Chain A
Amino acid sequence: MSAPQTPTAPAGADDDAAEGRVYTVSGEDWDEVVAAANEARDFEGGERLVINMGPQHPSTHGVLRLILTLEGETVVEVRASIGYLHTGIEKNMEFRTWTQGVTFCTRMDYLMPFFNEAAYCIAVERLLGIEDRIPERAQIIRVMLMEFNRVSSHLQGIGPMGMELGATTIFLQGLRMRERILDLYEMITGLRMNHAYIRPGGLAQDLPPGALEAIRTFMDGAPKLVHDLRTLIDANPVFIGRTKGVAYLDLASCMALGVTGPMLRATGLPWDLRKSQPYCGYETYDFDVPVTDTCDAYGRYILRMEEIEQSLKIVQQCVDRLAARGPSGPDDPVMIRDAKIGWPAQLSLGPDGLGPSPEHIAHIMGQSMEALIHHFKLITEGFRVPAGQVYAAVESARGELGAHVVSDGTTRPYRVHFRDPSFTNLQSIASLCEGGQVADVIPAIASIDPVMGGVDR
């Protein structure tokens, strides 16, 4: 551990940087860190302690490492160290076809896979210029899954938050409901996470038989599950004591730090891309954008619960629309009807796994030479995307999830960059915690609800 930084770093990365003394911490060097911090202490009377929190710590929501500087119980400095879960997803996507890219980006923020997929697919569709040709059925199912995902992601944020504050009941209640939603994911996509279900041009396949009934059964019980959870937490004096007035971040700070999503709406600003810049037909659904104005961890919790209620309202509308349309068919496809782009969508389960349906095989092998060629070329090469760049954003469970996608006209992305809301929101950790109690760091992290898979990508 020492002060100097990467040799190519410009001025500012040395001892007298603008933010104060900079330490390079590489692990197993805490004695040196503490010694150096004591040397540099610039306060009088007290003893300053540097605590390493994470990367393996149950309250840091994954492999987040915080370096806390404490004066007694007061946090005077928080530094976040990330990168422990960096997997090079963006780089890997440059070596796969446009369709295969979905399989990678769905693994970024593993608690909201459908948002990752949707942001990427909307970007690819905008590059192709086919945004308005995506079948309506596919859009409805996308919206339904994204809203389910908002619910399951919020529950995974609230449940562990309760556990970290000492209430395992909240955790179990939250995950009980989330588990039901994951069962629905499994039924619809085959997987509980990492679905790769939303594809450029539409969906991998339609809802399976019986899916609408299963969703309806869940929806019948869902309001009670939410109600139980709110009864348990909303007025819980311990929970309120730990979260009210904690982790304060006002509107101006949110703007400066680029914070979006529930953290921004908890300052009273009803900014929601589903309303302001609708995609996937959100403008046709009836829902409200909840806001709270307390700017604290409690307000963010209340806001997330209200968002869950609104999301369930949207899901109900999706179910009604899908029920009115009847089963998918040639007139109501889930993949764009463009032989040059539309990946074979209606898969079926055979003895050797999921593959093209017998009807599709019969069509390409027996009826249409062109269909066979298209199938072969799409599967082996993929489609080409006209050169250019776009930025497509969706309102994910954690805020604005943007995909900056660059094409050079070939069958692979030239560059894909994701503006992950966890990454940006996590920057605010210092503003949230510094000057507060060390115990308040835990609800502060939980109220950001970062997912390190998304932060590190």
Chain B
Amino acid sequence: MSGPAGPAGPEEVHGAQAAQGAVPAADEANASLPARAGEERLAEPVVRTGMFGVATTGDTSGYGRLRVHRPPPLESSRPYGSYFDTVADALGAALQAAGVGYSDAIERVVADRGELTFHVRRQLLPEVAAQFRDDPALRFELCTGVSGVHYLEDTDRELHAVYHLLSITHNRRVRLEVSTPDTDRHIPSLVGVYPTCNWHERETWDFFGIIFDGHPALTRIQMPDDWKGHPQRKDYPLGGIPVEYRGAKIPAPDERRHYA
């Protein structure tokens, strides 16, 4: 399985043995007696942050070390599997016929969890999307929306617009992902290719501040027209107030303890 579970790391066993083997000096042993430690803790000025003062991951059980770190593949190489190679070949042929270089338009391809993602360079997005829609071997008639994602730490590629395409003719799905730096948040609009993107792009502008160049009327759609900021960006706080429940104060959701 690819869930978070995995075999307990050998470090854990190793660490336990090491602790048993070490003979601490008498003073040190005295210092770490529970009673002493408890008194010291009580004497300390307590500053509470969030819930129960936990500032780190809050994991005291070692359970967190069972975590399997597996970053998503940044780039897949051929064969991608499934119908993905057919789609990539057809796209290459279509782009060539249109006079656009495949590697000029497609930054990289990711095949992950049975889904195919083309990372498209933003200036060529409308050309690529038009090929996806029109080429008989591709024929992705339907765009099922735009979804913005704000990767705060992905410098110079912070804002992503993700387009999900569906081919009814071939019963296939692909995803186009476009990234743009936060300092220059422009992506060409796809309304000309897929008119359904109209509201979706307005929503993405509203929530992430991505400006879709060429959109017929890029105005806010969910938030009020005079709203400041773009609420679903990661640097925009969730907000909220602490709530008292049975005598205890529960902090606002974004200040609660959470586990990385």
Contact = CB atoms under 8 A, between A and B. Distances in A.
B258 A83 contact: no
B23 interface: no
Contact of B175 (A19, A126, A386, A391): A391
A129 B115 CA distance: 12
Interface residues of B, number: 70
B7 to A, nearest CB: 12
B258 A412 contact: yes
Given A88-B231, A128-B2, A10 B142 contact: no
A390 B195 contact: no
Contacts of A5: 217-219, 225
B245 interface: no
Interface stretch (A152-160, A211-219, A417-425): A417-425
Contacts of B12: none
B21 interface: no
Contacts, number: 199
A414 B258 CA distance: 13
Interface stretch (B25-33, B37-45, B64-72, B97-105): B64-72
A128 B253 CA distance: 25
A402 B145 contact: yes
B236 to A, nearest CB: 8
Contacts of B166: 400
Interface residues of A, number: 75
Given A340-B4, A415-B149, A427-B199, A12 B144 contact: no
Interface stretch (A43-51, A60-68, A298-306, A375-383): A375-383
A90 interface: yes
Contacts of B71: 387, 409
Interface in A10-66: 10, 12-13, 17-19, 22, 24, 26
A24 B224 CA distance: 10
B194 A258 contact: yes
B198 interface: yes
Interface stretch (A91-99, A143-151, A434-442): A91-99
Contacts of A129: 1-3, 113
A18 to B, nearest CB: 4
Given A83-B223, A385-B4, A91 B238 contact: yes
A17 B217 contact: yes
A9 interface: yes
A341 B115 contact: no
Nearest to B260: A410
Contacts of A384: 4, 67
A12 B215 contact: yes
A231 interface: no
A260 B149 CA distance: 24
A386 B70 contact: yes
Nearest to A22: B217
Interface string A392-416: 0100000010101010011110110
B173 interface: yes
B180 interface: no
B20 interface: no
B222 A18 contact: no
B258 A424 contact: no
Contact of B168 (A130, A271, A385): A271
A386 B149 contact: no
11 contacts: A12-B216, A18-B216, A91-B232, A126-B113, A129-B3, A340-B3, A341-B4, A402-B164, A409-B69, A417-B149, A419-B147
Interface of A: 5-6, 8-10, 12-13, 17-19, 22, 24, 26, 82-83, 86, 88, 90-92, 94-96, 126-130, 133, 255-260, 269, 271, 276-277, 338-341, 373, 377, 381-391, 393, 400, 402, 404, 406, 409-412, 414-415, 417, 419, 423-424, 426-427, 456-457
